[in-house]
Amino acid sequence: MKTKMNKINLYLFLLVILFSVMTSCMTTTKIANYKITPIENENMDSTIVIRPNTGRVDGFCFTVENLSSEPIYIDWDKSFLLVNGVSHRCIHAGIRFMEKSAPQAQTPIGPYSTLSDCLFPVDNIYMNDVYQGWMQKPLQSNEGRYSIAILQNGKESNLQGNFTMTEEETKVPMHNMSSTNASATALLYVASALLLISAIILLL
């Protein structure tokens, strides 16, 4: 009986450790809420609409809606952000940081469809020699201007406007952060799994 109680106590102790490890895998990060003021463009079809998205403080996140019966295309290499009077070439979500200088393929948006994406200034993407991984700096200002190049029926125009950003903090799993944090989190998960397996074996 005493041996069984000792095993139960050990099991509870390991569960506490497991809970502590899993809790430590959460981290606080900042998210951005955007407000935009579109600039009227006589060359832009009124069937193309842009809305801000909640996103990250290191870029500008948005949704483009195509209300027309024809496909449109975003030309990323001609799109940019203007922050503190400086024009920044950008990549969009899904582009690997190591390919930040490479040409980007245009993205189609079908008729009556939407696309959600973000623009990230390439100047803010750098290799961290300490962590041996790519990292991003936040935007240098909470306000700026966006210009998103659109191709429609072979004609080019630009969705342009001003944006302001407010920040708020939220807790997210570390694996949603940088690749360096993701590696550390993976090790914590493995250690937690081993603890749980050990506890189960001890109770058998």
Could you tell me which of 94, 92, 88, 82 has the C-alpha nearest to residue 123? 88
Name the pairing type of β-strands 55-56 and 60-66: unpaired
Which residues in the chain come in under a pLDDT of 70? 1-29, 169-204
Q: What is the 3-state secondary structure (H, E, C) of 108-138?
A: EECCCEEEEEEEEEHHHEEEECCCCEEEECC
**Residue range 28-173, CATH number:** 2.60.40
Q: Would you call 89 helix, strand, or coil by DSSP?
A: strand
Say what the pLDDT of residue 130 is. Answer: 83
Given a contact cutoff of 8 angstroms between Cβ atoms, the answer to whether 168 and 33 are in contact is yes
Question: pTM of the full predicted structure?
Answer: 0.70
Say what the pLDDT of residue 3 is. Answer: 62
Domain residue extents for the chain:
28-173
Span 113-167, pLDDT tens digits: 999 999 999 999 999 888 778 999 999 899 999 999 999 998 999 999 999 999 8
Say what the pLDDT of residue 127 is. Answer: 92
Say what the pLDDT of residue 44 is. Answer: 75
Say what the pLDDT of residue 67 is. Answer: 95
